[in-house]
């Protein structure tokens, strides 16, 4: 794949970076390198006016309520229109936890403050009284070759509910997911994905990384096929995380501390 380049935007890296979320950028760019694809990464933070349609992939990590409030105005007044245009134009986007919440209609904090979202994803979030924390396993049918499992670490009190304009990223096998009630996790619209998978998500789910790379490439270059990589280490990490999640939840169900 000579001379192919992906333009990457790391959005608010100074404010939104919980539980190793920055590792998703590292995994994305390194995997591109293994596929023979160049990447150019640009960090974008508060008050910067950019045209997001010039990027191929946008990433934003998670943050606490304080950080979400700090970027809320910036989202609404500075970057929102351009981000909408980028998603509608097919730019690939991955938003984790707090980013996922702010990409939706709104997020109501535990103090009752309602933060307006960008309404890119047809979801809304309300703070709950229970902390949903632990390793999570889900099954996703997002992949062309058939369903695959995704693993990660969730830590959120926000309960996210899906509207009709999105589909869930996956069905929860182990863990809480969007709200601990309906068995869904994450949301997908166009090539935009919101999810609660921290950990970082992409190193342990190489098929998700490759899907995002494929989306990013296809927008700029048309249909592409990635070469097959040796994912033995990534698969071992994925399987270990899945076993750990299943063992933990098995103990919880059995009442073992």
Which residues are tagged catalytic? 97, 198
Please name the residue ranges forming H helices in the chain: 23-34, 65-74, 80-88, 98-102, 201-204, 206-221, 232-254
Distances (CA, A) of 117 to 76, 100, 151, 179, 237: 8, 10, 26, 18, 34
Query: How many CB atoms sit inside 10 A of residue 109's CB?
Result: 18
Angle at 203 between CA 72 and CA 62, to 5 degrees: 15
Structural contact between residues 6 and 41, judged by C-beta atoms closer than 8 angstroms? no
The count of residues in the chain is 257
């Amino acid at each position: 794949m000579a001379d192919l380049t992906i333009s990457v935007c790391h959005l608010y890296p100074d404010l939104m970076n919980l539980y190793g979320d920055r590792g998703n950028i590292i995994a994305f760019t390194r995997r591109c390198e293994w596929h023979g694809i160049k990447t150019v990464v640009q960090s974008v933070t508060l008050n910067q006016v950019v045209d997001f349609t010039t990027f191929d992939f946008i990433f934003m990590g998670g943050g606490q309520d304080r950080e979400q409030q700090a970027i809320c105005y910036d989202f609404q007044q500075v970057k929102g229109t351009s981000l909408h245009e980028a998603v509608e134009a097919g730019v690939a986007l991955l938003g984790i936890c707090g980013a996922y919440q702010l990409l939706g209609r709104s997020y109501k904090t535990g103090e009752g403050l309602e933060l307006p979202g960008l309404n890119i994803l047809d979801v809304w979030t309300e703070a709950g009284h229970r902390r949903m924390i632990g390793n999570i396993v889900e099954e996703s049918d997002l992949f062309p070759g058939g369903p695959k499992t995704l693993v990660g670490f969730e830590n959120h009190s926000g309960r996210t509910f899906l509207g009709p304009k999105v589909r869930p990223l996956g069905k929860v096998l182990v863990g809480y997911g969007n709200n601990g009630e309906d068995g869904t996790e994450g949301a997908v619209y166009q090539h935009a994905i919101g999810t609660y998978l921290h950990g970082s998500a992409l190193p342990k789910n190489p098929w998700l990384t490759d899907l995002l790379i494929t989306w990013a490439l296809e927008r700029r270059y048309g249909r592409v096929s990635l070469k097959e990589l040796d994912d033995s280490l990534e698969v071992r990490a994925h399987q270990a995380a899945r076993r750990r999640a299943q063992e933990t939840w098995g103990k919880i169900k059995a009442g073992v501390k």
